[in-house]
Each structure stands twice: as structure tokens, then as C-alpha cells.
Amino acid sequence: MGKKYLVVGGVAGGASAAARLRRLNEEDKVIIFERDPHVSFSNCCLPYHLSGTVEESESLVLMNPEKFLKQYNIEARVHNEVVDIDREKKEVKVRNVLTGEEYTESYDKLILSPGAKPIVPPIKGIEDVNVYTVRNVIDIEKLNKSVKEMGKCKVSVIGGGFIGVEVAENLREAGYDVTLVEAMPHIMKPFDYDMAQILHKELHDHGVNLIVGDKVSAFEKDTVILESGNKIEAQVVVMAIGVAPVTELAEKAGLEIGETRAIKVDQNYKTSDKDIYAVGDAIEVHHALTGRTTRLPLAGPAQKQARQVADHIHGRVVRNTGYIGSSVLKCFDYNAASTGLNEEMIEAFNLDIKYEVVKVIPGDKVGLMPGCEPVHFKLLFEIPTGKVLGAQAVGKGNVDKRIDVIATAIKFGATVDDLRDLELCYAPPFGTAKDVVNFAGYVATNILHGDFKQVREKDIRGLVQSGACIIDVREKDEYELSHIKGAKNIPLSELRQRLDEIPKDEPVYLHCRSAQRSYNAVMALQHLGFENVYNISGGFLGLSFYEYFNDQTTDREMIVTDYNFD
Amino acid sequence: MGKKYLVVGGVAGGASAAARLRRLNEEDKVIIFERDPHVSFSNCCLPYHLSGTVEESESLVLMNPEKFLKQYNIEARVHNEVVDIDREKKEVKVRNVLTGEEYTESYDKLILSPGAKPIVPPIKGIEDVNVYTVRNVIDIEKLNKSVKEMGKCKVSVIGGGFIGVEVAENLREAGYDVTLVEAMPHIMKPFDYDMAQILHKELHDHGVNLIVGDKVSAFEKDTVILESGNKIEAQVVVMAIGVAPVTELAEKAGLEIGETRAIKVDQNYKTSDKDIYAVGDAIEVHHALTGRTTRLPLAGPAQKQARQVADHIHGRVVRNTGYIGSSVLKCFDYNAASTGLNEEMIEAFNLDIKYEVVKVIPGDKVGLMPGCEPVHFKLLFEIPTGKVLGAQAVGKGNVDKRIDVIATAIKFGATVDDLRDLELCYAPPFGTAKDVVNFAGYVATNILHGDFKQVREKDIRGLVQSGACIIDVREKDEYELSHIKGAKNIPLSELRQRLDEIPKDEPVYLHCRSAQRSYNAVMALQHLGFENVYNISGGFLGLSFYEYFNDQTTDREMIVTDYNFD
């Protein structure tokens, strides 16, 4: 006689768990309960319906109950909500949300995969605006229908996380007038401020009205009111400030809830009840780099957890190596990927980690190849061990590849020496002989070795304003096109002949376009007896991206004569 | 007083070593000797001049002696060939190839980076054809000029390695009538036969006259004569059968030459003379996976070795982790990347390794996204340890990313469990929640766990001809479009109702499009008491690519009703 397994929630985690349970046994009864009309839809593709990239909303639905039954012999009951768990009797109470009918179903094991839901705080006046959220196919159909019907409407997207940015991008691609509001100083938490600035510029350049560091304080009819007092016209408001794990059912059943307010599970994704498992956006997980418990609402981890639960139920040994968090975003012509820790996470979690940062901006392929684009690549590593902690990459080309390599390296406890030595694929259309990752590894080992000192983009404004000695080692024509105000131009090619122009009694800050020529200059000067020499990390290109958005959207004084993004 | 370092050869290895030497010390004298007119040109970009992708040949030259002097205070003497080394006196004899003048130059340390040269065997009649090789900028200019001047000429490229395929591709892109001749059964040694078949098809589809398994036996005026007796008209012949390390100078100096006929070096790239180092295509290296000594003429390793040599000279501890060999090729619309060992290497080196193979063909991004393309992904792993040995990926999309991840994993001794658990970046435009690499890891752990058995594409022809029971579990409409001759169609969705149609007393071979649905079917049948069930690795899609080229170019009988590459 087979066992009976019930699965609550039929999207990423639930559907994967059910399919794996079937593959491991043909006799067992497997039932999925889904409150909504769809099982197994492509969550992450939802925003792409708004631009028509995914033309038909039906195509977002990957499986249906009929297919589940025919192909997997799995019963998927849509419009059926599990409303209660009787842990003693090992049965659930289910409500058919269409008919209101209620019934019970017993289980041997129960798997909870209820997901997370968009947070919609009770902001004053919220009932006076058309508010939408993006959680499922119905949501996106509603939002899409609404903007299409209104025609030339103004949309405010509140929240600059993945969903917010993707919704803003896709609505903008569809021609709408879009404002994106982020309460924090920058969008996209997986990235630090400096890296997010590139995305700010891209959104701005594509006509998204991006507002950062300002918060919704109230709504009025067709209007978003910000804490700054600014008002934004908006016939449509999309709330995307974040998601909260769905824990009502688990809480009601007395299952333990963790410190992050998500369902607490053990190393095998078992809840505090030995016959109930939980996976996906509703649970909290172990962060492999911080040792902390965290929430990680991502599709990949959900699917892996689901499979592991099915394996564990069937007595297979599973391995839980914790999570580091890897993600990627498309934002118009830019791609942005990250893995592991960033500077702001280390600060926010108050982690006792000493680290150093490397920023390099090499080409994503050989410069002679068509479509070669700079990769803005930032690497964090621990001091003194050199252990890789995290990385972020933003660029128009293949940035995801570089971050996947770092994500892989981190899983093995890699150091920056390891990155330097990696043998990555090279041919001119794909990369450079010294790939971005190797290159970052080289610079990091140099820093670890104490070869040179650096300052960061964020330091430059202060240095300029205090009249520090900044030397631009690019060639004269490059300097004349645009440069840091007050910077002196001594091209690398003239450096050794013009040493007398460089002060020895004060700090000297060197830069070129991307910090590579200036690195050579810094090394030369140090050997020549200049002791207080700094390389400006990221160079003029990095600085341009760092400063541009703020200079365009506020009345700050520019610290460069002009921007140069080439 | 500074030291004096001489570098022989000014391309990848030599130029990198010199620049690093300068960065580590400002006083030392560093001189590069280069016989040819150019230092530091982009070797790997040479073929792209033929298609005009790199329009001006001058742009292939990345540095020149003037820049070396100005930016790095390095003397680069072009047209200067080192013809002799006096190891006792620690000096080299140099000949100015333009003036014939000879002089000596002393050294503290000498770095040899002479590279490799194209092999041109003394084939009968070779003097009667226009033979070109591709080693440097002069070579490619000559070849390009020659075909351009002839206009509608026919070109035969001999040798299907990286250079051969890239030259054939770029000449074809430029509109020439191109034949590519490969003596072995398939092109591109880093790939196994099954993977190379995809490239064969691509070359064939783009009008390259590809001939494999046939060898040049002689030349006549405007004609290549093959061992088969076939004759090919060719006004231009490009010899690209391989390269040989340039060892004359080293041999003359009595430096030890290794078993592979390349210069022998120790772990610090030091030759048998303690003051002479060697790097790049001219040396042999340690293969980290086989323990064997091998040659690896790739730009990435050359640059890394160069830097390590400079570091070692300056007393820095360097680390030599050996090499696994990672590479990538663009071939028209396809990309092909590989790392580590393939099946044919294991056989050729007679390695005592037990291994298993996984072939999966998932999409490179979410199917709903524009431009989603299958990735043909092949993974080799050791039995019983599950240690990852190598991988190959071929597809129109981002295959290099997946191979870079494997290359990284291999460096850390990863097992297939590790691949399964990797946290890679996911968003619909970039991949799938269960990325190609994870997916291969899942299948590999299943095989390692003994969950199911498989047969390979190469086995299918024999199975079809012997009338084996092949079951196609795709839906009826897919089957009707094209299928394996004699295969029975039992869709996965009808499988459990039609068990009586499946024999229990003989082996049963199941497939679908890419082997994923058939995997579910195999698992179900096993649980239902069918003991002799096999999944056909790669499915109908893999088989189509495997068989197509041979069926199109020979008079073999097709074992499918029609091909289907969708």
C-alpha cells in the first residue's frame, strides 16, 4: 500500500516536490492543493507579459491539473485552499474556494509550499488609488488589462527590488509613463550603492522617472504623495516593496516560526512537526557565509528544497550546504548579477568580517570584437585570508557568467588566488585571455600582498573639494575630452620624465579610464620613492557612472568637466 | 643597480612577463626581442580579419615598441632574433633580421616565449599550390590579400582545430567557396564525436564543404588530392593541422626538452638552466586531471605563466595548480565550449579512469523568453566517486557560462553533488531556475545512485537495425512529425494505461525529445516491475544532431523518418 502525501501550494516548490515524489514511487498518492486557479506557472516571467515579451498570459501557465494527472499521476486540486491542519489526526481541512465546500484529507507527510505575498502596508488614502500587486497570473492579467484600457496612463511602481524594477522596465518598454519610487538611497539590495548607480543611470536614460531616498507617505486620487512633499500623478500604482512569507496556516497549526517571521525548518526542511515539511519563499534558511538565518525568496532554492524534501521522505540522505544567494536582473540594456555578500549586507548584519574591495572594469570580450562592452565588476574578499565573500557585476554583456563562476568558487571556500588561477574559456568573441574574474583575482592578490593602496569612487568628491592632488595618467586627448576638476594630466607615457611635477610630501591619487594604466603608474611611483600614492578604484569610467545620476537629478555641483561613458 | 632581464618573443607570454617585471621593479632593464615586426598582437583575433570583423589588420597590433618604452620603460626590439644562448657567459647572440647585424646581450635572467609554429608537412606537390599558414599579422595579411585579389577563389583549409575552423568560418562569411578537410572522424579535439557532430551540421548548413576522416595525400596545381582519391579544387590552401613548439633555440642551448617535444620546465616554469625560464606554447605543462605532461597552446595559460615567472624572479611564492584545459569556439551561429577531459582523451591517453556520461539538452533560458535555445551539455564524471572530470557544451546561446562554472568546479575537485547544489544566477532572460549545470548534476547523481540505466546516441543505429523495442513517449503529434523508424509511440500521458503494450521479457529503450519525459517514464516503469528499461540519452533531438551530417554527406540509410531540430 502506498503512502499519502499532500502538498500545499502548486507553484515552484510544491510542483517540484510532487513530481519528485512520483518519480521515487509509483504507488503513493500525491495531491497538490492550490487556492488559485493555476498550478506551476512561471512566476519570474510575470513582468514580461506587460511589455508583450510574453504575449499571451496563458503561456505563463506551464502545467495544468490534467497534465499533472496524465503525466505524473498527481492530483492537482486548484481552487482548493488548505485552511487548517490537524496535526494529531494528521489531516488537513480543505475549502473549495469556488463552492465554499469544506472537506478533510489525511496525510502521511505534508509539504507546505505556500510562498510569499506582496506587502501592502495600510498607507493613508490607499483606497483612493488603483493599487496592483504582482504575485500570480491573475495579478499580472489585471494590471496589464488596466493599463491597456486606460491607454496613456501614468504608473507609479513603489519599490525598487527585482519585481519593481522588472515591472517598471516592462511597462516602460510598453510605452507607459513610469515612476519608480525607492525609499532607500538605491534600488536593488543585492547591489551596493556604487553598482546600483549604473542601474539608476540606465533607468533614467530610458525615461523611467526614478526617485530614490524618498518614501510614500500617503495616496490621494491619482496621486502618490512622498515624504519629501513631492506629488506624483499616478492612475495606476504597483506595490512592490517586498514580500512576506505566508505563514498563517503554519502558525495556526502551531508550527514554529523563526526569527525572520518565516517558517522554521531543520536541515532537512522539516518543520517542528516531524511529518510536516516546508519549502520555498515561506521558510527561512541558513546563510552559508554569515551563519545567520535568512529569507531567500528565489525560485532556484525553492526547487532544490522541494526535491530534497521528496528525497528525505524516501530515506535518501540529503545535503544542506546553506545558501549564498545568487541572482541576476535585466534592466533595459544592462544586466546585473550578484552573489554572496555585499558591503551593505556586512554593515546591515553587523558582521564581524574584515574585508577589502576590488573594482575592475575590463571588457567582456576582446576589444576588437563587435559588441565589446565594459563589465563593472566588484569583488569582496576577507582580510587577511583572501577568502572570496561576494561579487557584483553590471554591464551590457555576459555578466551572469562571471558571477556564476564566483558563486561556484564561493561554494568551495575559494580565495582570491583561486580566482586568479581559474582556467576559463577564452576566444575573442567570448572573453579575454585574462578573464574579468582572473583580472579581479590579480588585483585582489596585489592588494592582499600590500602592493598598492586604493581609494574608492565615493571618496573622490571629498578629495576634489579639499583640493587633493589628483593625477590623470590618461593621454592628453582623453583628458581634454573630460576630466576630474582640478586633476593634473601626466600621461603614463610621460610619467617617468615628469616626476618633478608630482609632490612627495602629500598624498597623490592616480587614475586613468578604468584604473589599469594608473595601477602601472602607482607601482612605478612607489618604486621611485613616492610613498603616499593611491590608485582610484574604477577610474574615470567608474566615477562617471558613480556620479552621473545624482548630478542629473539633483542640483549637485559636478566634480568632472563632463561625463564620459566610453 | 638594477638587474637585466631578456625576453625572447613579444606576443602573449613575452609581453606579459616584461610588463609584470617592470611593475615589480622600476630600475631593472627589461628587453624584449621579437624576430617579427610586431610585438603584442592579438593572436586569437587573426582569423576575424578574413571576414572583416576586424577590418584593419593594423588594429590587431595592440602595442608597439614606442608604447612599450614610454608606458613601461621596456625596450622592445622587433626584427631582432635571438639566435644563440651562451649559458656559461649568460648572454645571448641577437641577429637583426633586417640588417643581418649580430650582437650579444648579457642577462641576469632569460625568459623564453618563442611560441609555436604551424606544422607544414612535406606533402608531395606542396610547392605547386598556394599554401598559407596563420601565425601572425603578416600571415593573415598575406592570406587575406591573396583571396581578395583572386576574387571568387576556392579555398581548402586543412585541419579542423580552432584555427582551421575559425579560418574556414571567416572565409565563408566573406563569401568564399571553402572546403575544410579533417583527417580524423571529427573536427575539434576538445570535443567528442557526438558533440562535434553539431558543429559538423553547422558548417555543412553554412555551405562549408566539410570532409572528415580523409587526409591530404598530395597536391597538384590548384588541387588537393585526398587519400580517398577525391580531388578538391583549391586556388588557396591554408595549412592548419596543428602547431609545434618552437624549441630550436632551447635545444641548441642544450636545455632539456620534454617527452612531448616541448621545452621542459619545473613548477616555477624554470628550464633545466636555473637562469632561464620558458612560458607559453613552447613549453609542456602538468595536466591536473591526468597527472600527465601535456602541451596546451592557449593564450590564457601563457599569460598566467608569464606573470608567475616575473613573480618567481622577484622572490614571490607562486603556485602551480596544473592545467585542465578550457576553451571555446564560435562556429557561425553556434558556440562550443569545453573543459577538462572528454571520452576520447581518456581513451587516447589510456587513462585508468572509470567514468559515466550525462547528456542533457535543456534550454539556455526560460522557454518563454525570446531567443531561448537548447544547450547540448555533456558531463563526464568518475565512478564511483562522482568527481567531475570534464564537460562540453554546444548551442546558440550562453554555453561558455556553463563550461566556466564546470571549469571552476573542477579546480576544487567538485563532485556531481556539488553541481546539483550550486546556486547560480537566475532570471528568465539568463537561464532557468534549475540551470543547465544543476540539471546535469541532478541526472548525474541519479545515475550515480543507480536510479536508471541509459544508452547513448551512438547505440541507437544498432538498436534500430536489430529491431529492439524503442518506445517514443512524446505526444502523438510530435511522433507523427518525425520519429525513429520502428519506434512505438506511447505518450507519457498514456503510459500507465498502456502498460500491456510494453514487453517485460526484453530490453525496452525509451526516449522523448530531450530525455526528460522519458526519464519520468523510465522511473515509472521500473517501479511498476519493468526491470530492463533504458533511457536514450539526448533523446530525439540529440539523435537528430548525431545522425544528420553523416546522413546528408554519405549514402547511409536514415534511421529516422525525418530530422527534427526543434
Q: Say if the Cβ atoms of A493 and B71 lie within 8 Å.
A: yes
Q: pLDDT tens-digit profile of A242-274?
A: 999 999 999 999 999 999 999 999 999 999 999
Residues of chain A with C-beta less than 8 angstroms from the C-beta of B494: 70
Q: What are phi and psi of A126, to 5 degrees?
A: -60, -25
What would the DSSP string read from start to end of B358-425?
EEE--BSS-TTSTT--BEEEEEEEETTT-BEEEEEEEESS-HHHHHHHHHHHHHTT-BHHHHHH----
**B334: nearest CA in chain A?**
A429
Given a cut of 90, whether residue B12 has pLDDT beyond it is: no
Q: Which amino acid, B383?
A: I
- Domain span at residue B284 reads 4-115+244-314
The answer to whether B443 touches B454, Cβ cutoff 8 Å, is no
Q: Say if the Cβ atoms of A45 and B366 lie within 8 Å.
A: yes
Q: Say if the Cβ atoms of A328 and B42 lie within 8 Å.
A: no
Q: What angle do CA B391, B397, B400 make, to 5 degrees?
A: 40
In the numeric block, the cell 570534464 is attached to: B390
How many Cβ contacts (< 8 angstroms) between chains A and B? 255
Which of A71, A405, A417 is opposite residue B520, by nearest beta carbon?
A71
The last residue of a domain, from among A396, A417, A449: A449
Q: Say if the Cβ atoms of A404 and B405 lie within 8 Å.
A: yes
- Confirm whether pTM is higher than 0.80: yes
Q: Is A44 a catalytic residue?
A: yes
Q: Say if the Cβ atoms of B300 and A438 lie within 8 Å.
A: yes
Q: Is residue B558 part of a domain?
A: no
Q: Say if the Cβ atoms of B433 and A45 lie within 8 Å.
A: no
Give residues with Cβ within 8 angstroms of B28, minimum separation 6: B2, B3, B4, B5, B21, B22
Closest CA of chain A from B280, distance in Å = 12
Q: Could you tell me the three cell numbers for A376? A: 563593472
- Residue A169: predicted pLDDT: 98
Closest CA of chain A from B378, distance in Å = 16
Q: pLDDT tens-digit profile of B213-266?
A: 999 999 999 999 999 999 999 999 999 999 999 999 999 999 999 999 999 999
Q: Is residue B370 part of a domain?
A: yes
Q: Say if the Cβ atoms of A427 and B12 lie within 8 Å.
A: no
What average pLDDT does range A144-154 have in this prediction? 94
Distances (CA, A) of A37 to A97, A298, A302: 10, 22, 21
- Residue A566: predicted pLDDT: 87
Distance CA B540, CA A467 (A): 69
Q: Say if the Cβ atoms of B433 and A302 lie within 8 Å.
A: yes
Q: Say if the Cβ atoms of B48 and A73 lie within 8 Å.
A: no
Q: Which amino acid, A545?
A: F
Question: In terms of C-beta density within 10 A (0-12 exposed, 13-18 middle, 19 or more buried), how is residue B12 classed?
Answer: buried
Residues of chain A with C-beta less than 8 angstroms from the C-beta of B443: none
DSSP H or E segment with residue A334: strand A334-340
For chain B, what is the radius of gyration of the CA atoms? 27
Distance CA A554, CA B342 (A): 57
Q: Say if the Cβ atoms of B418 and A412 lie within 8 Å.
A: yes
Q: What is the mean pLDDT of chain A?
A: 97
Give residues with Cβ within 8 angstroms of B332, minimum separation 6: B169, B202, B203, B205, B206
Number of other residues whose CB lies within 10 A of the CB of residue A248: 11
When scoring A305, A426, A475 by the number of chain B Cβ atoms within 10 A, the one with the most, hence best to mutate, is A426
When scoring B408, B499, B535 by the number of chain A Cβ atoms within 10 A, the one with the most, hence best to mutate, is B408
Does A104 lie in the same domain as A68?
A: yes
- Residue B543: predicted pLDDT: 97
Given a cut of 90, whether residue B384 has pLDDT beyond it is: yes
Distance CA B183, CA B257 (A): 28
CATH number for B169: 3.50.50.60
Which of A67, A329, A423 is opposite residue B407, by nearest beta carbon?
A423
Does B352 lie in the same domain as B425?
A: yes
Percent of chain A at pLDDT above 70?
A: 100
Q: pLDDT tens-digit profile of A66-84?
A: 999 999 999 999 999 999 9
DSSP 3-state assignment of A289?
A: coil
Number of other residues whose CB lies within 10 A of the CB of residue A554: 7
Closest CA of chain B from A253, distance in Å = 31
Q: Is residue A164 part of a domain?
A: yes
Which of A298, A321, A528 is opposite residue B26, by nearest beta carbon?
A528
Q: pLDDT tens-digit profile of A314-359?
A: 999 999 999 999 999 999 999 999 999 999 999 999 999 999 999 9
Which of A70, A71, A493 is opposite residue B70, by nearest beta carbon?
A493
The answer to whether A563 touches A539, Cβ cutoff 8 Å, is no
How many domains in chain A? Answer: 4
What average pLDDT does range B7-35 have in this prediction? 96
Distances (CA, A) of B51 to A451, B75, B397: 43, 34, 22
Q: Are strands A223-226 and A216-220 parallel, antiparallel or unpaired?
A: antiparallel
- Residue B77: predicted pLDDT: 98
Closest CA of chain B from A484, distance in Å = 22
Residues of chain A with C-beta less than 8 angstroms from the C-beta of B301: 423
CATH number for B495: 3.40.250.10
When scoring A404, A490, A497 by the number of chain B Cβ atoms within 10 A, the one with the most, hence best to mutate, is A404
Distance CA A242, CA A297 (A): 10
pLDDT band at A405 (very low <50, low <70, confident <90, very high): very high
Peptide bond into A384 cis (omega under 30): yes
Distance CA B133, CA B389 (A): 34
Does B161 lie in the same domain as B14?
A: no
What average pLDDT does range A194-201 have in this prediction? 98
What average pLDDT does range B474-490 have in this prediction? 97
Does A82 lie in the same domain as A23?
A: yes
Q: Is residue A441 part of a domain?
A: yes
What average pLDDT does range B129-148 have in this prediction? 97
Does A304 lie in the same domain as A340?
A: no
Does B501 lie in the same domain as B440?
A: no
CATH number for A390: 3.30.390.30
Q: Could you tell me the three cell numbers for B63? A: 602595442
pLDDT band at B268 (very low <50, low <70, confident <90, very high): very high
Does A386 lie in the same domain as A468?
A: no
**B190: nearest CA in chain A?**
A425
- Residues of B tagged active-site: 44
Does A459 lie in the same domain as A445?
A: no
**A340: nearest CA in chain B?**
B423
Closest CA of chain A from B75, distance in Å = 14
Q: Could you tell me the three cell numbers for A460? A: 573622490
Does B301 lie in the same domain as B275?
A: yes
What average pLDDT does range A538-559 have in this prediction? 96
SS (H, E, C) A40-92: CECHHHHHHHCCCCCCCHHHHECCCHHHHHHHHCCEEEECEEEEEEECCCCEE
The last residue of a domain, from among A424, A449, A474: A449
Given a cut of 90, whether residue A460 has pLDDT beyond it is: yes
Q: Is residue A324 part of a domain?
A: no
DSSP H or E segment with residue A366: none
Closest CA of chain A from B317, distance in Å = 11
Instruction: Tell which phi-psi region holds residue A359, choosing left (phi > 0), alpha (psi between -120 and 50) or beta.
Output: beta
The last residue of a domain, from among B193, B222, B241: B241
DSSP H or E segment with residue A105: strand A102-106
DSSP H or E segment with residue B562: none
Distance CA A324, CA A338 (A): 10
**B71: nearest CA in chain A?**
A493
Which of B24, B404, B423 is opposite residue A424, by nearest beta carbon?
B404
Q: Say if the Cβ atoms of A71 and B298 lie within 8 Å.
A: no
Q: Is residue A562 part of a domain?
A: no
- Residue A462: predicted pLDDT: 98
Distance CA B419, CA B439 (A): 8
Q: Is residue B120 part of a domain?
A: no
Does A493 lie in the same domain as A386?
A: no
Which of B73, B370, B405 is opposite residue A53, by nearest beta carbon?
B370
When scoring B21, B269, B366, B426 by the number of chain A Cβ atoms within 10 A, the one with the most, hence best to mutate, is B426
Q: Could you tell me the three cell numbers for B117? A: 609554429
Does A11 lie in the same domain as A153?
A: no
The answer to whether B522 touches B503, Cβ cutoff 8 Å, is no
Residues of chain B with C-beta less than 8 angstroms from the C-beta of A21: none
Q: Say if the Cβ atoms of B44 and A433 lie within 8 Å.
A: yes
The answer to whether B185 touches B212, Cβ cutoff 8 Å, is yes
Which of B307, B414, B426 is opposite residue A328, by nearest beta carbon?
B426
Does A203 lie in the same domain as A57?
A: no
Closest CA of chain B from A408, distance in Å = 6
Percent of chain B at pLDDT above 90?
A: 98
Q: Is residue A75 part of a domain?
A: yes
pLDDT band at A12 (very low <50, low <70, confident <90, very high): confident
